[in-house]
Amino acid sequence: MELRARIEHLVLHEPFEIARGVSTHEPVLIVELEHDGIVGIGEGAPVDYHGETTESMLAEATGDVPALLGDDPFALEAVLGRLRSEGLMGGTRMAIDGALHDWIGKRLGQPTWRLLGLAPTSPPTSFTIGIDTVEGTADKVRRAVGYRVLKVKVGGASDLERLEAVRAGFDGPIRIDGNEGWDIEIARAITPDLLRLGVEFVEQPFHRDDVDAYRAYRELPQRLPVILDESCQDARDVPRCAELGDGVNIKISKTGGIRGGFSLARAARAHGLAVMIGCMIESELGISQGAQIASLTDHVDLDGHLLIDDGPFRGLGFADGVVTVSDRPGLGVEPA
């Protein structure tokens, strides 16, 4: 297999703030794998809280990966197993995994979701509103036309006032994401108001190492369901997560691609957990990889491509708040 890789810089519509910082653009890794005249494409996004960078992913893709690919694109388990055993970053493996699935679909003339035995349908995606002023948050809610679910990033001084503004302008489901920005005292103080506002669940409220906070929160007489993101990298983390939360958030940049995401969803179901699929800031190519398995989930947060200007790929649809996958072969995405 011939491999080509490059970095693509995605520019956000507007600055995007979470508890860990502010972004105005995000680089992603684009990989092309060519074999027998067919080119599969995939995208990988770095997981910054794991210390990943796109530059280091590119170095892996062009340095370590070619010798590990072999000559059979259908041998997904063997190829991806070699990448995993060599300790390659999740974002690098995500890009290779995506390109392999795209190649196989193109070779067989079928969309990836069908080859996985899944459906092209999924729950509606949430649209993410970053940390902002109360006025800025209200303005973003007014502009979030066509979305049936909103996810609000929290972890700032005005969390409650911002959520009051969201509820005043939106009567649908509201979810919140702490990105590890709370402590248990904040959670205890704010939870009664979150319940009053009808917040559906909280994603990763405490640091992934603050096990005591998660256990203390579970003991509250009334609380929000907790979906674990940073605490859950892949299927191996599920038993521990089942003791701390009520669900897990799949990000294929963490699991190393579609195959790992599928495994994580099955493991979570076996432990009675809710399943969500999320994303990093990605183009339609990266989002399409997660969208192939979105029918396995209860909650969808695949809006990364909706936050950027002039994305480099096209192929996804958006109707009635739902990100829709193509019925074209492979991932169904092409360069814009």
**pLDDT tens digits, residue range 58-117?**
999 999 899 999 999 999 999 999 999 999 999 999 999 999 999 999 999 999 999 999
Rounded-to-integer distance, Cα 66 and Cα 262, Å: 25
Helices 258-270 & 90-108, crossing angle to 10 degrees?
Answer: 100
DSSP state, residue 330: B
Q: Which residue carries 């739902």 as its tokens?
A: 322
SS (H, E, C) 278-336: CCCCCCHHHHHHHHCCHHHCCEECCCHHHHEECCCEECCEEECCEEECCCCCECCCEEC
**pLDDT tens digits, residue range 142-185?**
999 999 999 999 987 799 999 999 999 999 999 999 999 999 99
**pLDDT tens digits, residue range 215-271?**
999 999 999 999 999 999 999 999 999 999 999 999 999 999 999 999 999 999 999
Q: What percent of the chain has pLDDT over 70?
A: 99
| Strands of 174-177's sheet in order across | 126-129, 149-153, 174-177, 199-203, 226-228, 247-250, 274-277, 299-300
Token pair in block for residue 143: 């502009």
Q: Specify the higher pLDDT residue, 138 or 25.
A: 138
For residue 131, CA distances in Å to 68, 127, 158, 177 come to 41, 13, 9, 10
Residue 123, number of CB atoms within 10 A of its CB: 19
pLDDT attached to residue 281: 95
With cut-offs at 50, 70 and 90, classify the pLDDT of residue 34: very high
pLDDT attached to residue 21: 75
Residue 184, number of CB atoms within 10 A of its CB: 17
pLDDT attached to residue 53: 96
Residue 158, number of CB atoms within 10 A of its CB: 15
Rounded to two decimals, the pTM is: 0.95
Asked if residue 248 lies in contact with residue 227, where contact means CB atoms within 8 angstroms, the answer is yes
